[in-house]
């Protein structure tokens, strides 16, 4: 047997550099969370681990403001969490209203199309959100719609969607449509009240304001969403089948669906513990303060922010690249000279922006100052 | 905002016990691999990480014996790797021949059904494999079949499938059907020669003989499999879309598909480095020796093995629970009194067995002796 590798034959260990991850995520992992990953690996079917799962689920519920329903984590990225909600709750041919003002809203629309559903796409330019009135009008026009999709915190633009108002209005209308919410950049950084706002399905990721490593997608379902799982004849990919996962997480006795990545589960568990010990409101306030602080810093230097001020997220700022400046080159200098990662625009239709995240352990003024100081070095005149 | 959790309100850190993972996987992680996970987290779009991806891909190729095609890892479990091969390479309505002699072969068949494909199911009792002649006969009967699925190392029974002979025979027939192989329990423990044997799609996992933590599914595709990706009108879930992943792994410039779980990638990378430094043949020999040793030990004690001796895997032994003995109770005592995990039968149709893995860092006689000694404590008379 050959077992020779084609081209790159060194096979020496990889040695990544130390970065301040001040982009749209992943953000730096809390060192206490990294410690948790050194704990002994037990298997996904170990009764000791099994006994911990309800606690992990409840902590995820706490971050989502869920008491009536089920929360768990998928062993996949947020991208899969996005898709899992669609393939479990929408049958091909059903109608879905999906609002987008950015890359991730667009991606939801693409996944709705791939599901073979009838997509009602509502779109606004990057930097705004689709007004709730337009969503409600679409719902009146399409009473057959089974789902309304919005992005609570659009990672590509720094825009917040008023989810609470939408959920309350949908309930007031007596709509049967499920409310599906992308909480990837929201969770752990700003309030989410799944029960009170009427969120039926939400997904997030581990690596932003939760401050765990990337790899997991915590999700939550309302009771009425759970009731729509496993409909007859509805094709669901097995590895994303939430009804099967509920057998593992909630129903007993012990069942097997897939091998869970338990070191990642330890990390998520510890990160959620730390968040609850800090207190979620304290954590939200910390993100609000850090975000307002760095945004003021950018504005003082003459930079514009992409998001309409009425819907600006704290934890993620999209800073407009001034005319005449090569945004990518600045990004490269911040990375190579200062070991600071900030994001650029995402996808071919994005305007020229830098995306600066203040999330998890990085949500503080000291980190903001470090990022602003690096910008001052590479752009001593600010936006001018 | 409430942010209170429903029931389990302690939110103290989780403290798992230290186990010897001598079941069907996960197996214990090499300590040097755990060290690698402490390296600084960089993002999935960091050029430094990006430059490492071809090396990681080549190491995966080395484990698969692939030079002509593409290898990568999915950021999901082996269960998703199983499904990804089907949803990317089979359109609804196409015919798939799937052979099964165990839980995972059955699962492939279930996923083929969910794909909406026309399943030709070939089944034998647990402990055997479907003879290649039967597979080839089915292929002659179903010349429209686009894929033949087999399990190289059936994790639920300890049975090896003669993949090399099957691949050679399919080539000799001039078959257009793709050869799809489950290598979950094979990779790193026994030879796989994807190019030479004509394997078109194979998937594995990180947590068995590779000795990395669970969470990733290394896959490999032949050139002709790659050519069948992205066919017009074929629906593929976005988060499992291999054509999109190839844009990230192979095509440049930098694209974004999902946030890769980079600490897991570091671990896989390090584990593959260590395997190649050990030498794959040396590693296979070590697994063969440890497996033969523990199997001799069980037989000396009067236990039968489930697998037909002609197709017994070394790295995984299914030991028959003697009549009158409560297999689950023994499993529980090994776990609780000795901190040793062995598996039980998987699924409702499994015969009463214990599944004992000698994989990765555990593939040695010392570990085998430790497992046998624990069995001697709880069953001093062996099978009698």
Digit-coded pLDDT (tens) for A177-212: 999 999 999 999 999 999 999 999 999 999 999 999
Residue B3 has pLDDT above 50, yes or no: no
- CB pair distance less than 8 Å for B6 and A61: yes
A188 found inside a domain? yes
Question: Which CATH number goes with the domain that contains B289?
Answer: 3.90.1150.10
Q: How confident is the model at residue B7 (pLDDT cuts 50, 70, 90)?
A: low
Q: Is residue B6 part of a domain?
A: no
Q: Do the chains contact at A62 and B4, CB–CB below 8 Å?
A: yes
Q: Which domain holds residue A207?
A: 31-276
Instruction: Write the residue in B25, B238, B284 that is nearest to A114 by C-beta.
Output: B238
For residue A263, the chain B residue with the least C-alpha distance is B213
Together in a domain, A138 and A40: yes
CB contact under 8 A, B238 and A107: yes
Q: How many CB atoms lie within 10 A of CB B133?
A: 10
* Dihedral (CA of B173, B174, B179, B185) sign: positive
- Of A228, A244, A276, the residue at which a domain comes to its end is A276
Averaged pLDDT for residues B347-357:
93
Predicted pLDDT of residue B9: 61
Q: Is residue B151 part of a domain?
A: yes
Q: How many domains does chain B have?
A: 2
Contact B82 A239 (CB under 8 A): yes
Q: What would the 3-class secondary structure string for chain A be? A: CCCCCCCCCCCCCCCCCCCEECCCCCCCCCHHHHHHCCCCCCCCCCHHHHHHHHHHHHHHHHHHCCCCEEEEEECCCHHHHHHHHHHHHCCCCCEEEEEECCHHHHHHHHHHHHCCCEEEEEECCCCCCCCHHHHHHHHHHCCCEEEEEEECEECCCCEECCHHHHHHHHHHHCCCCEEEEECCCCCCCCCCCHHHHCCCEEECCCCCCCCCCCCCEEEEEEHHHHHCCCCCCCCCCHHHCHHHHHHHHCCCCCCCCCCCCHHHHHHHHHHHHHHHHHCHHHHHHHHHHHHHHHHHHHHHCCCCECCCHHHECCCEEEEECCCCCCHHHHHHHHHHHHCEECEECCCCCCCCEEEEECCHHHCCHHHHHHHHHHHHHHCCCCCC
Question: Does B326 lie in the same domain as B178?
Answer: no
Q: In terms of domains, do A299 and A271 share one? A: no
Average pLDDT over residues B235-264: 93
The verdict on B225 and B346 lying in the same domain is no
Nearest Cα residue to B193 out of B162, B216, B215: B162
- Minimum-distance CB partner of B41 among A21, A41, A80: A21
pLDDT, tens digit only, all 384 positions of chain A: 334 444 556 689 999 999 999 999 999 999 999 999 999 999 999 999 999 999 999 999 999 999 999 999 999 999 999 999 999 999 999 999 999 999 999 999 999 999 999 999 999 999 999 999 999 999 999 999 999 999 999 999 999 999 999 999 999 999 999 999 999 999 999 999 999 999 999 999 999 999 999 999 999 999 999 999 988 888 899 999 999 999 999 987 778 999 999 999 999 999 999 999 999 999 999 999 999 999 999 999 999 999 999 999 999 999 999 999 999 999 999 999 999 999 999 988 899 999 999 999 999 999 999 999 999 999 999 998
- Taking CA atoms, what residue in A is nearest to B197? A1
Is the Cβ–Cβ distance between A174 and A122 less than 8 Å? no
Same domain, yes or no: A363 and A249: no
pLDDT, tens digit, for every residue of B293-329? 999 999 999 999 999 999 999 999 999 999 999 999 9
Asked, for residue A3, whether it belongs to a domain, the answer is no
Across the interface, whether the CB atoms of A61 and B5 are under 8 A apart is answered: yes
> Of A237, A260, A276, which residue is a domain's last?
A276
Classify residue A284: in a domain, yes or no: yes
pTM: 0.97
In degrees and rounded to multiples of 5, residue B283 shows phi and psi of -65, -45
Does residue B92 sit in the same domain as residue B239?
yes
HSE, side-chain direction, 13 A CA sphere, residue B257: 23
CB spacing of B256 vs A346 below 8 angstroms: yes
- List of chain A residues whose C-beta atoms are within 8 Å of the C-beta of residue B34: 37-38
Residue B203 counted as domain residue: yes
Candidates A6, A11, A116; nearest CB to B276:
A11
Q: Is residue B237 part of a domain?
A: yes
Residue A9 confidence (pLDDT): 61
Please answer whether residues B1 and A65 qualify as being in contact, where contact means their C-beta atoms are separated by less than 8 angstroms: yes
Determine, for residues A41 and B62 on separate chains, whether the beta-carbon distance falls below 8 Å: no
Domain co-membership, B265 together with B306:
no
User: Pick from B7, B17, B26: which is nearest to A259 by CB?
Assistant: B26
pLDDT at B40: 96
Could you give the CA distance from residue A215 to residue A81 in angstroms, rounded to a whole number? 11
pLDDT, tens only, B127-141: 999 999 999 999 999
- Give a yes or no: residue A1 inside a domain: no
Provide the 8-state DSSP code for B31. Answer: H
A272 and A288 belong to one structural domain: no
CB contact under 8 A, B261 and A264: yes
Across chain B, what does the average pLDDT equal?
95
Residues B264 and B233 in one domain: yes
pLDDT at B202: 98
- Residue A10's pLDDT is 66
Whether residues B208 and B230 fall in one domain: yes
Q: Provide the CATH number for the domain around residue B113.
A: 3.40.640.10
Quote the CA–CA distance of A258 and A255 in Å, as a whole number.
10
Give the distance from residue A228's alpha carbon to the nearest chain B alpha carbon, in angstroms.
18
Residue B334 has pLDDT above 50, yes or no: yes
pLDDT score recorded for residue B306: 97
Give A363→chain B minimum CA distance, Å.
17
Residue that finishes a domain, picked among A276, A303, A337? A276
Indicate if B139 and B271 belong to the same structural domain. Answer: yes
pLDDT in tens, B203-223: 999 999 999 999 999 999 999
Is the domain of A148 the same as that of A163? yes
């Amino acid at each position: 047997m050959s077992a020779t590798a084609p081209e790159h034959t060194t096979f020496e260990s990889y040695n990544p550099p130390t970065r301040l991850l001040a982009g749209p995520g992943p953000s730096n992992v809390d060192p206490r969370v990294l410690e948790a990953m050194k704990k002994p690996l037990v298997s996904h079917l170990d009764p000791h681990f099994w006994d911990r799962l309800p606690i992990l689920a409840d902590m995820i519920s706490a971050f989502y403001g869920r008491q009536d329903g089920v929360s768990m984590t998928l062993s996949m990225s947020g991208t899969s969490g996005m898709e899992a909600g669609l393939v479990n709750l929408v049958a091909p041919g059903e109608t879905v209203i999906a609002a987008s003002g950015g890359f991730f809203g667009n991606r939801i629309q693409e996944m709705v199309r791939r599901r073979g559903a009838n997509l009602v796409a509502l779109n606004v330019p990057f930097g705004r959100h689709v007004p709730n009135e337009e969503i409600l009008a679409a719902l009146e026009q399409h009473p057959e719609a089974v789902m309304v999709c919005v992005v609570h915190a659009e990672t590509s633009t720094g825009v917040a969607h008023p989810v609470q108002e939408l959920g309350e209005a949908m309930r007031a209308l007596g709509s049967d449509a499920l409310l599906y919410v992308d909480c990837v950049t929201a969770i752990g950084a700003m309030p989410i009240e799944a029960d009170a706002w009427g969120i039926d399905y939400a997904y997030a990721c581990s690596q932003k304001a939760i401050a765990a490593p990337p790899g997991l997608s915590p999700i939550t379902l309302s009771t009425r969403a759970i009731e729509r799982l496993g409909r007859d004849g509805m094709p669901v990919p097995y590895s994303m089948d939430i009804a099967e996962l509920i057998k593992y997480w909630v129903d007993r006795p012990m069942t097997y669906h897939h091998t869970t990545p338990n070191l990642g589960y330890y990390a998520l568990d510890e990160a959620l513990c730390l968040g609850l010990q800090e207190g979620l409101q304290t954590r939200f306030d910390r993100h609000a303060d850090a975000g307002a602080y760095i945004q003021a810093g950018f504005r003082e230097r003459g930079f514009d922010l992409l998001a309409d001020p009425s819907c600006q997220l704290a934890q993620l700022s999209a800073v407009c690249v001034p005319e005449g400046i090569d945004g990518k080159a600045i990004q490269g200098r911040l990375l190579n000279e200062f070991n600071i990662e900030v994001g650029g625009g995402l996808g071919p239709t994005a305007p020229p922006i830098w995306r600066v995240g203040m999330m998890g352990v990085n949500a503080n003024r000291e980190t903001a100052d470090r990022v602003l100081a690096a910008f001052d070095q590479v752009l001593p005149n600010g936006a001018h």
